[in-house]
Structure 1
Amino acid sequence: MDLKRESILCIDLKSFYASCSCIKRGLDPLTTYLAVVGATDRQGSVVLASTPLMKKKYRIKTGSRLFEIPKKKEIHIVNAEMRYYLEMSMEVTKILHRYAANEDIHIYSVDESFIRVNPVERIFGDKWAIARRIKKEIFEELGLTVAIGIGENMLLSKLCLDLDAKKTTEGIAEWTYESVPHKLWPVTPLSEMWGIGSRTQKTLNRMGIVKVGDLAHYPLELLEKKFGIMGNQLYYHAHGIDHSDLGAPIMLGQISFGKSQILLRDYPDKEEVKHVILEICEEVARRTRSSHKAGRTISLGIGYSKESFGGGFNRAKTMDQPTNITMDIYKVCLELFDKFYNGDVVRSIDVRLSNIVDDTELQLSLFDLEYPKRSRLGYAMDEIRRKHGSASLLRAVSYTNAGTALHRSKLIGGHKG
């Protein structure tokens, strides 16, 4: 197999939100105890980020709750400042543009980016020299610490970042194809490998696959029989092989559009829960249409409140025809909700659309001749919201006590600006 060998850097801004909040207040992120929360006035508010010392001494990390933070004078608790974080992220991107053209940079998230540097190695030095220069300039100019994984493709650079670079003293490491047997294959549990979630891990474990090396040596035809195209990708990724272009989804077979929401309060009324499900379906459909995609498999996840001792369910249904229409997705979600909901108090909702195709591949069904009209309506609504704001066109449920869309439309990145 002809393996693509490039110089790709995967750059992670360490403890980004917490570091930015420290810098804005003139504090050193490496010596400060600080936690960023969604809202300081809600004890159940989720911790979005914390400084390294906060994680080490008090075990407060992303996903912890405000009420878990000890009441200590040395601890700073601050609201998320999304507008400022985005500004800082853009400053980092400006530094990356000193070393690469637009087509060689992929902004993966607000705190993580990929950059292809082989076209400029003759100018700035090899990949290690460029990684060190970028790391130094980001720290000196912005005060932010970064970790950098270097790989011969996007997947290897990402795996190197997560499994190696973040743990080294320098914060930089490199993986090649030759690194895979002794660096990647010993990894366990499987969920430590980027792209493998807990549910896939459980399925693989039941097949006797415990380490990534087990996955790499499992018969390809059996993985494809069990997982379809995803089985093919799991096999090749276990060998460090990835033919994605920069910016393409690395796990193409797993691409999905979804939205998870931790509710602002407990929802004991099932009708109110349905109102929020409809709002979330609207957002999932919009995100899918924005990429001109549609999907056949709809998943609904419901998380129960701690008052109900937690728990919940996650179920999916695959339809005959792919869709990107809100009410199609909502209809399936209602079916799943009515079938599996046990009456407990709800605190979180997740809706996901997968098994993705291009919306140009949709076939007209003899049983739904109105589909093209409903599809055009969805795109028209998206355009109105794009021009006039997300709150310019809302469903009636968003104006009820259960609705959350009106509140969320005033947030940046899901949080206060």
Structure 2
Amino acid sequence: MEEWQNHRKILHIDMDAFYAAVEQRDHPALLGKPVIVGGKPNSRGVVSAASYEARKFGIHSAMPMTEAFRRCPQAAFLPVNMQKYQEASDRIHEIFLSYTPLVEPLSLDEAFLDVTRSTALFGFAQDIAVLIKQRIRQELGLTASVGLAPNKFLAKIASDLQKPDGFVVVPPDKVQEFLDPLAVERVWGVGIKTAEQLHELRVRTVKDLRALDESALSKRFGVMGKQLYELARGIDNRSVETDRMAKSVGRETTFPSDIADVDVLEKELLKLAVDVGRRLRKHALRAKTITLKARYPDFRTLSRSSTLPQATDLDDLIYHEACSLLRELSMNQPLRLIGITLNNLTDQTEQLTLFDEPQKDMGNLTKVIDQVNAKYGKNSITRARLL
């Protein structure tokens, strides 16, 4: 372990087929069988998660449900149960925090952990990783894949190499040996177009990329050239950000059949506004910019945005603003999808004036409703219009 003494010890922990794994855990009859989370097979939604048994049929996230059904009609098709997945994620996060306060969540099912200073209490970083994997399995009945490395970039790649239930360690003195054989597409920022340009330069692996000097990369790829140069050498100095704030909060729904009735669309907007408002309040955030997304049957997608004078986390304000944006759209065609996204987020509470007292009262009422729903179930108290 001598080579680790002067280096950070970063874990990237990624749950295996998270949504599908939670469903298999809760329905033992589905263990070992293909499971697809996302809704009914004949719906117009997309796959949110697929078990490893389903992935053998080429099914992956964001694939249309109809295509997933065509490839694997014998699979179990289940609706998304976000509340259940959030509860599992919260418990996993508690396990992380019992070993280090330096946790950076990336989503419900993955996070970075800096355990550099935790070794004084819990032993080697490898031991901490094993303990976390064991506790996730024992306490939640789920499996996680882990990468341990001197930085976030390497840890992220490592966690993905031996899924499911993998554990890959990249010691500081083995970084180049680890990186060189990998396909260049493994490097952060190398998407389809960048990969095509690199292939034109006869760059297929990280080792090929490392053969190019920084000036040549910067000339071809601009600012990204420096990043490619450093990542090819395993250089990534970013810290684990414990106060990482979400950039946006959004929710959308694809209808089983196209909808032209404005009253029905507004009811759907109310559902979405309640959901995103609840998520804002859970993370003590407010939003100033509200964006409405609408998709027509021909897949033409439009968006309209509005910025409020003050940031809010109130469902009613979000809803009424979204309805105003809906009325700006051309309704000469029905809609197949509608969504609300909140941007320009802040965790600062703005000072209310005397004229804002009704908003303060509504905020207090909303907090009480959130507390009741958290204790007794998501929809214990709901809007009459949504019944």
RMSD: 4.5
Q: Could you tell me whether the CA contact under 8 Å between 2:99 and 2:118 is conserved in 1?
A: yes
Match for residue 213 of structure 1? 224
Deviation of 1:160 (Å)? 4.0
> CA contact under 8 A between 2:103 and 2:241: conserved in structure 1?
no
**Which whole-Å deviations, capped at 9, do the CAs of 1:132-188 have from their partners, x for residues lacking one?**
554467568977543223355xxx53x445545313575525598x97999887732
C-alpha offsets along residues 298-346 of structure 1, whole Å, 9 cap, x if unaligned?
A: 2111233xxx222322232333433333343334323332333453332
**Are the structure 2 counterparts of residues 65 and 188 from structure 1 closer, same or farther at C-alpha, using a change threshold of 3 Å?**
closer
Number of equivalenced pairs:
339
SS of alignment partner, residue 167 of structure 1: coil
Aligned residue number for residue 405 of structure 1: none
Give the direction of change, closer, same or farther, for the CA distance of 1:26–1:338 in structure 2 (3 Å limit).
Answer: closer
1:130 matched residue in structure 2:
128
Cα distance in 2 for residues equivalent to 1:41 and 1:349: 20
**Alignment map for 1:144-155 (pairs within 5 Å):** 144-150=142-148
State how 1:230-379 maps to structure 2 within 5 Å: 240-243=236-239, 245-246=241-242, 248-249=243-244, 252=245, 255-263=247-255, 265-304=257-296, 308-362=297-351, 364=353, 370-379=355-364
User: Secondary structure of 1:322's match?
Assistant: strand
Q: Distance in 1 between matches of 2:287 and 2:84?
A: 35
Structure 1 residues 131 and 298: alpha-carbon distance in aligned structure 2, compared to 1, 3 A threshold: same
Structure 2 Cα separation of the partners of residues 335 and 187 of structure 1: 38
1:398 aligns to what? 386
Residues 242 and 261 (structure 1 numbering): CA distance in 2 closer, same or farther, change over 3 Å?
Answer: farther
Query: Would the aligned equivalents of 1:9 and 1:150 in 2 still touch at CA under 8 Å?
Result: yes
* Distance 1:283-1:162 versus aligned 2 partners, 3 A rule: same
Is residue 36 from structure 1 mapped to residue 19 from structure 2 by the alignment?
Answer: no
Aligned residue in 1 for 2:204: none
Secondary structure at the aligned position of 2:63 is classed as coil
Q: Does 1:382 find its partner at 2:362?
A: no
Change (3 A) 1:331 1:186: closer
8 Å contact from structure 2 (residues 292, 326) kept in 1:
yes
Structure-1 separation of matches of 2:38 and 2:136: 26
Alignment-mate amino acid for residue 251 of structure 2: K
Of 177, 189, 192 in structure 1, the residue corresponding to residue 191 of structure 2 is 189
Per-residue Cα deviation, 1:37-58 (whole angstroms, up to 9, x for no partner)? 34458544643322334224x2
Contact 1:35 1:47 in 2 (8 A): no
Unaligned runs of 5+ in 2: 1-5, 195-218, 229-234
In structure 2, how many angstroms separate the alpha carbons of the residues matched to 1:324 and 1:84? 23
Note the C-alpha offset of 1:361. Answer: 2.9
CA contact (8 A) 2:103 2:112 kept: yes
Match of 1:227 in 2: none
Partner of 1:17: 19
In the superposition, relative to structure 1, how do residues 387 and 393 fare at CA in structure 2: closer, same or farther (>3 Å)? closer
Q: 2:94, 2:316 → 1: CA distance?
A: 41
- Establish whether residue 118 from structure 1 lines up as the match of residue 116 from structure 2: yes
Give 1:11 shift.
Answer: 0.9
For the residues of structure 2 that align with 1:282 and 1:257, how far apart are their CA atoms? 12
Query: CA offsets, 1:75-114, max 9 Å, x none?
Result: 43143585876787678668657x716x455666543344
Give, in whole Å, the separation in 2 of the partners of 1:127 and 1:355: 37
Helix, strand or coil for the counterpart of 2:349? helix
- Tell me by how many angstroms 1:296 deviates: 2.0
Contact 1:40 1:77 in 2 (8 A): no
Cα deviation for residue 259 of structure 1 reads: 2.5
Q: Which residue of 2 aligns with 1:47?
A: 47
Q: Report SS of the residue matched to 2:99.
A: coil
Would you say the 8 A contact 2:260–2:331 is kept in 1? Answer: no
* Contact 1:147–1:166 (CA under 8 A) maintained in structure 2: yes
Normalised by the length of structure 1, the TM-score is 0.63
Deviation at 1:358, TM superposition (A): 3.7
Letter in structure 1 aligned against 2:369: I
Q: Normalised by the size of structure 2, how large is the TM-score?
A: 0.67
Task: Give the letter aligned to residue 128 of structure 2.
Answer: I
Residues in 2 aligned to 1:187 and 1:175: alpha-carbon distance in whole angstroms: 23
Residues 39-118 of structure 1: pairs in structure 2 closer than 5 A = 39-40=39-40, 43-44=43-44, 46-56=46-56, 58-70=57-69, 75-79=74-78, 82=81, 100=99, 103=101, 109-118=107-116
Tell me, yes or no, if the aligned pair for 1:37 and 1:80 is still in contact at 8 Å.
Answer: yes
CA shift digits 1:176-218 (9 cap, x unpaired) = 8x979998877323999xxxxxxxxxxxxxxx9968734759x
Instruction: Answer yes or no: is the 8 Å Cα contact 1:185–1:213 preserved in 2.
Output: no
CA distance in 1, matches of 2:326, 2:221: 33
